[in-house]
Amino acid sequence: MVTIIVGAQWGDEGKGKIVDVLAERADIVARYQGGANAGHTLVVEGKTIVLHLIPSGILHPHVQCVIGNGVVLDPVALRQEIAMLDAMGISVRGRLFISHKAHVIMPYHKLLDAAREQHQGIGTTGRGIGPAYIDKYSRVGIRVVDLLDRRVLEEKLRTNLAEKNALLEKIYGAERLDVEQIVAEYLEFDRYIDEFVTDTSALLHNALREGKQILAEGAQGALLDVDHGTYPFVTSSNPTSGGACTGLGIPPTAVARIIGLAKAYSTRVGNGPFPTELHDETGELLRRLGNEYGATTGRARRCGWLDLVALRYSVMINGITELALTKLDVLGKLSSFKVCTGYRLGNQPLKSFPADARTLDTVEPEYIELEGWQSSLDAAHTIEELPAQARQLVRLIEDYCEVRVSLISTGAERHQIVRRT
């Protein structure tokens, strides 16, 4: 059975912790899209661990981890992450499986990402994600399987570099890259990852046949989805639930649950519309209390109120069957807080989420205000043990989005969780 974990907002909803908690009862955690642009933060026994590529289930020794075909694999980031885990005494050997169909991030992807960003102003993470997906869909991408044959790799690289060097030099005024050096570097990388590479779709299908539990872990969030997000201020893949099937090679019929993660307030990194953004000291307070700084780039996240119009849209396009509400402890530190329950465009109420980023940029959010509780949630492990104001917020979300909140995270540590049966 497959459970998909999807970010229901603009990413950074706390997927690392929720996947880590759910991984206790899973056999496999499989990442289906994105690359090292993601930053999944876990706090275990006071120690903070940030993972960019390797699924957040890796901390559980019984869990197998898959990097699916939908991911764009950054060799540098992967090696750093494996080394970091090794240093912590966590071995990935025999437990990490990388799809031979995954596309590989090349040095020119990062250079092109940086160069294009100056013109486009999306606020990308600079990890080469967009250019790698462009090559995938242009059908010139280099996949993990291509690393196995030196001749194939060299040929593909020469063709790619002829175009990329012209772009870098003539359009972006950057330096040319050397084919030989890249071939040598990537052949060495192939030797390194060889033991992890396999047919991950077959692995997942076998696991399904054996009745195993698979968690499909998305990166980023639905509102950054290239099809359904706030285009063009989006990432270049499909974090929405449909991406799990294409990004892992599993059928929709295998999916039993889709858990959407939503933070009790909203954040966004990079540019693009954000109707409930707070430009005042309350926004700064949320940033400080929630430590809202990018796990990948260190950038300060833009902060604002929970947006139920956007969340309901996300529930719809993802087919979310239950919500996990995160960082409730942070919101409760405020004496009062707001929740957006509608948009206005001029004098017109707008109940749906607009497709056009410019329209979304001009909507006026309508709010209701709720009282904070300003007490610790540490002792709460059932919904009844939460303060009345927190329960009121949970009810509001459930009524508005027509979906149950089944998990509530009340802090960064594993034990700070409310589970509803």
Alpha helices in 281-414 (DSSP H): 281-289, 308-318, 328-331, 357-362, 388-401
Cis peptide before 239 (omega within 30 of 0): no
- CA-closest candidate to residue 262, choices 301, 320, 213: 320
Torsion of CA 315, 318, 324, 328, to 10 degrees: -50
CA distances from 201 to 30, 219, 316 (A): 10, 19, 27
Of the candidates 17, 95, 100, 127, which one interacts with ligand IMP according to CB under 6 A?
Answer: 127
Sign of torsion, CA 286 225 48 216?
positive
| Contact region with ligand IMP (CB under 6 A), list: 205-213, 233-241, 332-340, 387-395 | 233-241
Write the DSSP symbol of residue 168: I
Give yes or no: 225 in active site: no
Q: Nearest distance from residue 356's CB to ligand IMP, in Å?
A: 17
Q: Nearest distance from residue 190's CB to ligand IMP, in Å?
A: 25
Residue 239 interacting with ligand IMP (CB under 6 A): no
Residue 218 interacting with ligand IMP (CB under 6 A): no
Residue 277 interacting with ligand IMP (CB under 6 A): no
Q: Nearest distance from residue 369's CB to ligand IMP, in Å?
A: 27
Residue 269 interacting with ligand IMP (CB under 6 A): yes
Task: Provide the angle, in degrees to the nearest 10, between the axes of the packed helices 308-318 and 388-401.
Answer: 50
Q: Nearest distance from residue 25's CB to ligand IMP, in Å?
A: 25
| Contact region with ligand IMP (CB under 6 A), list: 36-44, 69-77, 156-164, 376-384 | 36-44
In whole angstroms, what is the distance from residue 67 CA to residue 29 CA? Answer: 9
Of the candidates 99, 236, 326, 416, which one interacts with ligand IMP according to CB under 6 A?
Answer: 236
Q: Nearest distance from residue 219's CB to ligand IMP, in Å?
A: 6
Q: Nearest distance from residue 7's CB to ligand IMP, in Å?
A: 8
Single out the catalytic residue among 20, 40, 100, 103.
40
Tokens of 199: 């047919």
Binding mask 73-112 for ligand IMP (x = CB under 6 A): ----------------------------------------
Binding mask 147-186 for ligand IMP (x = CB under 6 A): ----------------------------------------
Query: Which phi and psi (to 5°) does residue 420 adopt?
Result: -110, 130
3-state secondary structure of 337: strand
Residue 203 interacting with ligand IMP (CB under 6 A): no
Query: Which phi and psi (to 5°) does residue 330 adopt?
Result: -65, -50
| # binding residues, ligand IMP (CB under 6 A) | 20
Q: Tokens 């990432």, residue? A: 235
Write the DSSP symbol of residue 239: -
Residues in the chain: 421
| Alpha-carbon radius of gyration of the chain | 21
Give me the residues that bind ligand IMP (CB under 6 A), please. 11-12, 37-39, 122-125, 127, 129-130, 219-220, 224, 233, 235-236, 269-270
| Catalytic residue ranges | 12, 40
